[in-house]
Structure 1
Amino acid sequence: MLVLIIRCFRGLYMGFNLCGDVIYVLDAAALFASYQLMLPHNSKAVTTKEVVEEVRDLDSRASLELSLSAGKLVIVDVPDKFLVEAVRVAGDLGEFSKLSKADISLTALMIMLVRVCGGVDVFVVTDDYSLQNIANYLGLRVLGVKRRTIDKVVKYVSVCRLCGYVDNTGLGVVCPVCGGFMSRRPSTVKSFGKCC
């Protein structure tokens, strides 16, 4: 498989300028739907290698190969500092427990685009509500592939089903007070805006 991995340096990626055009950040659902092949010419589709690794079926793989060779999709190698920030943002929203490694890498890519390009004209294409929640929190626009999108930011907490203990990080699975199972609950809902 032909893979183009580009390293970040102030919005310029080995001669490939990400900033200034409409950017579509694609998750696996978008790649399965070949979303990158349907984008207008003045746009760029980007994703991460962790997301590409989730694409395994032959049809989607062929579409992925075609879009990579045609330059319709760029795989971005996100610097570690943005991965660290992605974990922090996911934890702040109580979303960390719901995210895969690929989701964390995509979150880091979103944060990088906010920091490097100002988040202008960046669309996140996903059906994953946790990624949509994070994108809204970052002030990015969200497009669904097959499902409706959310338009609010929700912060989650973990609540013990037995004693009612509340863990504000949303990371708790077992209650530290009584050992009971903790479930995730929304604690605050607000209109989205830029966090960064």
Structure 2
Amino acid sequence: MRVLDTSAILSGRWQGGTVATVPGVIDEFEEGGHSYRMLQYAREAGLAVMLPPDEALERVRDAARRTGDLAALSGTDVEVLALAASRDDAVMVTDDYAMQNVARELDVRYEPVVQEGIREQFTWRYRCRSCGRWADAGSEQCPVCGGPIRRVRWK
């Protein structure tokens, strides 16, 4: 089964075999226009809409915390990852590097849509641009000096 994110549906490069996605991906499409027609085409081709199990959602969040990617993932991204992680036969289809990084952490198979895909897994940390202190993931301002926080590759 191929688990698709929005970019995979829009690309149309997922044809063949069983395909699925999560309700959050469906919600990202607005009626009318080219993108909605791509969604309709996917539905006609048998796109299944499935909810991931709660334990898979928690596993994905834990893995994303470990890699430092949690702040870069939307709720829908977490759901797509969780659906792929919950199935042994799943291959996640996405160009999102943060999703690919977490998929590697979870040993979930993935394939890129158009981009090359990540070559190695990274861990990210968050650091103040002004004073250099480390901050928690998701912080926008340094708790010490108020400077902006940026994501930094750790290893």
TM-score, normalised to structure 1's length?
0.70
What displacement does 1:96 show? 1.4
Report the Cα distance in structure 2 between the residues aligned to 1:64 and 1:163, rounded to whole angstroms. Answer: 46
Residues 126 and 144, structure 1, Cα contact 8 Å, conserved in 2 = yes
The 5 A counterparts of 1:47-58 are 47-56=21-30, 58=33
Deviations 1:6-49 (A, max 9, x none): xxxxxxxxxxxxxxxxx21111001011234x22xxx3211101
Report the Cα distance in structure 2 between the residues aligned to 1:178 and 1:51, rounded to whole angstroms. Answer: 38
Query: What is the one-letter code of the residue matched to 2:69?
Result: E
Report the Cα distance in structure 1 between the residues aligned to 2:143 and 2:58, rounded to whole angstroms. Answer: 26
Report the Cα distance in structure 1 between the residues aligned to 2:113 and 2:67, rounded to whole angstroms. Answer: 23
> Where does residue 187 of structure 1 map in the other structure?
154
Identity across matched positions, percent: 30
Cα distance change on mapping 1:140 and 1:79 into 2, 3 Å: closer
**1:173 corresponds to 2:151:** no
RMSD: 1.9
Name stretches of at least 5 consecutive residues in structure 1 with no aligned partner.
1-22, 189-196
**1:136 corresponds to 2:104:** yes
> Where does residue 59 of structure 1 map in the other structure?
34
Cα distance change on mapping 1:70 and 1:142 into 2, 3 Å: closer
Residues 32 and 55, structure 1, Cα contact 8 Å, conserved in 2 = no
Going by fraction, where is strand more abundant, 1 or 2? 1
Report the Cα distance in structure 1 between the residues aligned to 2:81 and 2:128, rounded to whole angstroms. Answer: 28
TM-score, normalised to structure 2's length?
0.86
The total of aligned residue pairs comes to 154
Name stretches of at least 5 consecutive residues in structure 2 with no aligned partner.
none
The 5 A counterparts of 1:83-94 are 83-94=57-68
The 5 A counterparts of 1:71-90 are 71=46, 73-90=47-64
Query: What is the one-letter code of the residue matched to 2:143?
Result: P
Residues 94 and 171, structure 1, Cα contact 8 Å, conserved in 2 = no
What displacement does 1:101 show? 1.9
Going by fraction, where is helix more abundant, 1 or 2? 2
1:124 corresponds, among 92, 100, 119, to 92
Report the Cα distance in structure 2 between the residues aligned to 1:141 and 1:104, rounded to whole angstroms. Answer: 15
What displacement does 1:110 show? 2.4
